[in-house]
């Protein structure tokens, strides 16, 4: 498992820009918003948490089809399926690798981009924690979507269509936590729910992903 | 003699084909009675005036939109566990009907909301979860059409249906965090509680039954169509091999 994780991380960092691309996309979306709604701080401040969450979600979505596609094409996914490591474990590791290469950098970068959107200074900590809790769920749900569409030639658009509705609860609780934090309200419930979604998704979705992968490798 | 005998496509078609006209006719009759009674023979409600009469379309379609997904979930589970092709095809056949029911519920809800709430749309739990349900239907149908191999498509859509059910419930719960919605909670229940006047109860129940039968009839028709389509595919493939 560790070897697979290391291999995936090296591939993401070294081979062709997949690593920085999500982060750059995140930056560009956040920069585009003030062009769209105007640079007024009083407009930007209340919507900043939501924008950062939606932008992080879209940046996450961008790199999903790379999770399995390359391995499927060159046959290493079939090798993984026949290895002693259960396919559920492989799906879990793939999701963790995806989070380490997209979710974690996004979480670290988000507070800095909050400055650009005049985000309320109290919200930075909440934004960081909610993204740290929520982006792993985005990765594991996305891994499931990628496993469903891995056999398709043009699965990218379909992947977004399948995965985005599944992202709704994570997005609602994540953005709600930051919004409540910025308003100085109690944030326990959304944070607990967010952590619950992440934990539940990590516990259950690898099985669904592995089932989908087995079908696609048949 | 068990229910699984009907998993044989031939037996399924032979049994359902003669039933379809009766179910379809019965559903039309019930819908006609329910709607005519509801539209012309009920009083105008206190706060709603005559706009309340859209209820006789809105409630049954919303009911069938949710039950349609439930039926797909059960059919998907049967396919995954017992590998009966008819079950997978029935789930596939139900998806567009459920999606249309969702659209009808959303549209009639919007038309009803305009005069009573003063808005076509509000981001509140019930409305939002229905919109998300619609997105799930679309994703499910898109996945069916995207995959060429029939068994692969049936397997993957079944997995999606199961995962989607969990997340649909979660989304509904998540949306409740935006606060109490405009939409009232369920007014109907089988034991005829006091929320609704008896003059509305009967026509509403009749049109709900009608919509339910209508759904069943459409699913049966579409399942039969899909079985025939698959047979045609098999025949074509055989002809190609022979040539």
Q: Is B45 helix (H, G, I), strand (E, B) or coil?
A: strand
| A21 Cα to chain B: minimum distance (Å) | 26
Q: Tens of pLDDT along A73-116?
A: 888 888 888 888 888 988 998 899 889 888 898 999 888 888 88
Between chain A and chain B, the number of residue pairs with CB atoms below 8 A apart is 75
Eight-class DSSP state of B195 = T
Model confidence band, residue B40 (pLDDT cutoffs 50, 70, 90): confident
Q: Is B120 helix (H, G, I), strand (E, B) or coil?
A: coil
pLDDT at position B44: 65
Number of domains, chain A: 1
d(CA B146, CA A135) in angstroms, rounded, equals 28
Q: Would you mind telling me the total number of residues written for chain B in this entry?
A: 243
In this complex, do B174 and A158 lie within 8 Å of one another by their Cβ atoms?
no
Q: Tens of pLDDT along B145-155?
A: 888 888 889 99
In this complex, do B142 and A169 lie within 8 Å of one another by their Cβ atoms?
no
Tokens 């979480």 identify what position? A107
* Residue B45, strand partner residues: B49
Whole-angstrom Cα Rg for chain A: 18
In angstroms, the first-to-last Cα distance of chain A is: 23
Geometric angle at alpha carbon A217, from A214 and B4, rounded to 5°: 55
A48 Cβ contact list (under 8 Å, min separation 6)? A114, A117, A118, A119, A120, A123
d(CA B91, CA B76) in angstroms, rounded, equals 6
Closest partner residue to B142 (CB to CB) among A158, A169, A208 is A158
What's the pTM value of the predicted model, to 2 decimals?
0.87
* Residue A192, strand partner residues: none
Share of chain A above pLDDT 90, in %: 28
DSSP B128-190: HHHHHHHHHHHHHHHHHHH--SHHHHHHHHHHHHHHHHHHHHHHHHHHGGG-S-SS------T
Domain of A162 in residue numbering reads as 2-217
pLDDT at position B75: 93
* Range with top average pLDDT, A118-132, B83-97, B108-122: B83-97
Q: Which of A214, A217, A49, A194 is nearest to A120 (CA)?
A: A49
């Amino acid at each position: 498992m560790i070897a697979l994780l290391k291999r995936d991380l090296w591939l993401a960092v070294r081979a062709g820009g997949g690593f920085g691309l999500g982060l750059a996309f995140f930056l560009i979306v956040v920069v585009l918003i003030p062009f769209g709604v105007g640079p007024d701080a009083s407009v930007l401040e209340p919507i900043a948490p939501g924008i950062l969450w939606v932008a992080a979600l879209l940046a996450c979505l961008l790199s999903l089809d790379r999770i399995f596609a390359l391995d499927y094409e060159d046959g290493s996914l079939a090798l993984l399926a026949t290895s002693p490591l259960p396919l559920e474990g492989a799906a879990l590791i793939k999701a963790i690798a995806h989070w380490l290469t997209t979710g974690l950098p996004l979480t670290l970068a988000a507070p800095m981009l909050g400055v650009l959107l005049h985000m309320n200074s109290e919200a930075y900590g909440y934004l960081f924690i909610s993204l740290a809790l929520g982006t792993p769920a985005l990765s594991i749900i996305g891994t499931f979507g990628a496993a469903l569409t891995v056999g398709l030639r043009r699965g990218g658009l379909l992947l977004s269509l399948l995965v985005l509705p599944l992202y709704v609860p994570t997005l609602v609780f994540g953005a709600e936590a930051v919004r409540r934090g910025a308003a100085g309200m109690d944030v326990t419930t959304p944070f607990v729910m967010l952590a619950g979604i992440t934990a539940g998704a990590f516990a259950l979705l690898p099985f669904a992903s592995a089932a989908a992968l087995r079908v696609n490798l048949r | 003699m068990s229910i699984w005998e009907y998993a044989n496509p031939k037996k399924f078609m032979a049994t359902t084909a003669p039933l379809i006209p009766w179910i379809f006719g019965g559903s039309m009759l019930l819908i006609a009675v329910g709607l005519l009674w509801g539209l012309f023979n009920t009083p105008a409600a206190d706060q709603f005036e005559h706009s309340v009469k859209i209820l006789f379309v809105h409630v049954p379609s919303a009911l069938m939109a949710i039950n349609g997904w439930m039926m797909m979930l059960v059919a998907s589970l049967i396919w995954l566990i017992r590998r009966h092709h008819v079950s997978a095809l029935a789930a596939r056949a139900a998806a567009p009907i459920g999606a249309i029911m969702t659209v009808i519920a959303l549209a009639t809800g919007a038309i009803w909301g305009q005069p009573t709430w003063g808005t076509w749309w509000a981001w509140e739990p019930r409305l939002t979860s229905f919109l998300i349900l619609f997105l799930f239907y679309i994703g499910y149908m898109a996945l069916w059409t995207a995959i060429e191999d029939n068994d692969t498509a049936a397997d993957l859509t079944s997995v999606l249906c199961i995962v989607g059910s969990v997340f649909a419930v979660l989304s509904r719960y998540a949306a409740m965090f935006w606060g109490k919605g405009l939409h009232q909670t369920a007014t109907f229940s089988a034991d005829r509680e006091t929320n609704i006047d008896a003059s509305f109860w009967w026509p509403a129940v009749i049109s709900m039954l009608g919509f339910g039968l209508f759904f069943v009839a459409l699913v049966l028709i579409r399942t039969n169509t899909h079985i025939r389509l698959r047979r045609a595919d098999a025949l074509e493939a055989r002809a190609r091999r022979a040539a």
